[in-house]
Amino acid sequence: MTAMVDLAFLLLTFFMLATNFKAEEAAEVETPKSISDTVIPERDIMMITVDDSGRVFFGIDNRDSREAMIKKIASANKWTLNEDEVKAFALETSFGMSFGTLKRWMSLPPNEREQIPQTGIPCDTLINELPQWLVQGRYAHKEVKGTDLRVVIKADKNTKYPAISNIIETFRELRIHNFALITSLETDPRDDN
């Protein structure tokens, strides 16, 4: 009997640890429901997260790509970054800061970084920093892994439409015509017949 109990605890510990592999998300988002049952691809995704107040977060799921991306962004905007700052950035799976805030964030020591509020990447008609991230992210990933990234939007069901519309317009400008929206599964009403 004690052997069975030992096994039970072992399995329990395993699953408790296994479920923690999901990355820490920058913002809580409740996605809308849809009948679409296409499953999200395991890797090579570029995720744009939008919370209900319209803050835009951006992330790629591959750490090396993130490193390459920040280096490209740095050279495009004429910043100088040292190795620690690059590594610090590459650790975050998703972030939402304007260029200025990001630069400051990277230069701070780790314990002070939480102090900076993540107000989202500016993505409106006045300032739009999203195109740079999208473009450099694609190039970086292509360099590192040789494959193309799929663009995916994960937005809260209560996000006001203008925030989404700005993102879709940004895609149009960059000639990204194929993307996907993350949704939770609901039963197809046609199946009830």
Partner 1 sequence: MAELDTGGGGGKKGGKPRGKKASTRIDMTAMVDLAFLLLTFFVLTTTISKPNVMPVVIPPKVDPNDKEEVEPPKVAETKILTLILGQSDLIYAYPGILDPASGKSPEVLTINFDPKKLRTLIKERQNIVKGQFGDAKELIVLIKPLSTSRYNNMVDILDEMNISEVKKYTLAELNDNERELIVAQKEPENVQDIAK
User: Taking CB under 8 A as the rule, does residue 161 contact partner 1?
Assistant: yes
From residue 106 to residue 145, the character string flagging contacts with partner 1 as x (rule: CB under 8 A) and all else as - is ----------------------------------------
The one among 46, 130, 181, 193 contacting partner 1 by CB under 8 A: 181
**Cβ of 123: how many Cβ atoms within 10 Å?**
23
The one among 88, 90, 140, 182 contacting partner 1 by CB under 8 A: 182
In the bound state with partner 1, the residue whose beta carbon lies nearer, of 4 and 126, is: 4
DSSP 36: -
Q: Are 167 and 180 in contact (CB under 8 A)?
A: no
Q: Are 191 and 163 in contact (CB under 8 A)?
A: no
147 phi/psi in degrees, rounded to 5: -115, 165
- Shortest distance (Å) from residue 179 CB to partner 1: 6
**Cβ of 96: how many Cβ atoms within 10 Å?**
25
User: Taking CB under 8 A as the rule, does residue 19 contact partner 1?
Assistant: yes
Total residues in contact with partner 1, by rule CB under 8 A:
54
Task: Identify the residue whose tokens are 């039970």.
Answer: 8
In the bound state with partner 1, the residue whose beta carbon lies nearer, of 74 and 151, is: 151
In the bound state with partner 1, the residue whose beta carbon lies nearer, of 38 and 111, is: 38
User: Taking CB under 8 A as the rule, does residue 168 contact partner 1?
Assistant: yes
- Shortest distance (Å) from residue 169 CB to partner 1: 9
Task: Identify the residue whose tokens are 């319209």.
Answer: 54
Give the Cα separation of 143 and 158 in Å (integer): 37
In whole angstroms, what separates CA 102 from the centre of its chain?
A: 15
Q: Give residues with Cβ within 8 angstroms of 93, minimum separation 6.
A: 23, 24, 25, 59, 61, 66
**Cβ of 31: how many Cβ atoms within 10 Å?**
15
The one among 24, 28, 39, 111 contacting partner 1 by CB under 8 A: 39
User: Taking CB under 8 A as the rule, does residue 43 contact partner 1?
Assistant: no
User: Taking CB under 8 A as the rule, does residue 44 contact partner 1?
Assistant: no
Residues near partner 1 (CB under 8 A) are: 1-2, 4-5, 8-9, 11-12, 15-16, 18-19, 22, 31-40, 50, 152, 154-165, 168, 171-173, 175, 177-185, 188-190
